[in-house]
Amino acid sequence: MSTYSPQTSVVLTHPMGKDDLLYDGLVNEGIEVVCDPMIDTEAVRLEDECREHLYQSRRIIFTSKRGVEYFFQQVKPADVLDKSFICIGKKTAQVLEQFGVKPWWVSGGRTASDLVNELQQTHVRPGEKWVGMLGELAENTLADGLKNVCDYKRYNVYRTLIAKEQSPKTVELLSSKKSMLVVCTSPSCFNGFLDLYGQLLHKNVSYASIGPATSKSMKKRNVTPAIVARFSTYEGLWQEMKQQLKPQYR
């Protein structure tokens, strides 16, 4: 689908949080929205070996808000106040600060590749121990990029659960053959949607991607996103969606 009409409906495939920017923005524009989250998350227990390595390390890297939240469900802030914290993005840093911890480094970019490029330019003592607290589905971008920078070790602090049941609202929307935009904020959201609804898809279904990793997953399955955020954030995706939907809705 290359153009939108006033009848375009939007399916959001990410978990809904409080004051969700995409949901609120679309509803305020008068667009029909179906919330059908393809993923959920749960904590991964940090084993003794992980905790030992953690307490020996100098710096801790977080790449997402969920990583911070699940980490501090298991580790007291007082036990890691001697560590330096590295975050991707201001939103992740803000969650860190809610636990009373200030970040040492906040990446100016929005991806793990951006962070690696920044850290490769810093002066780090040889052999300095760092740990990354990530989700199970995160790629090994940090491990590959930091191997010549520090002694880096990855640990998974949460896992992603993929939806297994179809939503009646989404099925009804797909069956109507209406113009439909599926918004994907991660590769897991996109793959989960395609796996769950693949047999119901039609030519009037198009996709919005939050950034390179999600777009890469789409192209692997022969899907070209109609909308790609210029900046890999919810704000960036919303601004791009609004620009493309605006002529049809105003």
Q: What is the pLDDT of residues 25-70, one digit of tens each?
A: 999 888 899 999 999 999 999 999 999 999 999 999 999 999 999 9
Please report the pLDDT score of residue 1 as a whole number: 41
Residue type, 119: L
Please report the pLDDT score of residue 13 as a whole number: 98
Please report the pLDDT score of residue 170 as a whole number: 97
Please report the pLDDT score of residue 249 as a whole number: 45
CB within 8 Å of 26: residues ≥ 6 apart: 10, 12, 33, 241
Which residue is it, tokens 């009409």? 5
- 202 CA to centre of own chain: 27
Please report the pLDDT score of residue 232 as a whole number: 84
Strands in the chain per DSSP E:
9-12, 32-35, 39-43, 59-62, 84-88, 105-107, 129-135, 151-162, 180-184, 205-209, 227-228
CA 160 → CA 19, 58, 186, distances in Å?
22, 28, 11
Name the phi and psi angles at 155, rounded to 5. Answer: -135, 140
pLDDT at residue 199 is higher than 50:
yes
Beta-bridge partners for 33: 10
Least confident segment among 1-10, 37-46, 173-182, 219-228: 1-10
Q: What is the mean pLDDT of the chain?
A: 91
Residue 72 and residue 43 in contact, taking contact as beta carbons nearer than 8 Å: no
234-249 and 21-28 helices, crossing angle to 10°? 10
Structural domains of the chain ordered from first start: 9-38+165-249 (3.40.50.10090), 41-161 (3.40.50.10090)
Q: Rounded to an integer, what distance in angstroms lies between the CA atom of residue 34 and that of residue 64?
A: 25
Please report the pLDDT score of residue 5 as a whole number: 52
Rg for the chain, CA atoms, rounded: 20
pLDDT tens string 60-113: 999 999 999 999 999 999 999 999 999 998 889 999 999 999 999 999 887 899
Q: Rounded to an integer, what distance in angstroms lies between the CA atom of residue 23 and that of residue 13?
A: 11
pLDDT tens string 213-246: 899 999 999 999 999 998 888 899 999 998 877 6
pTM score, whole prediction: 0.79
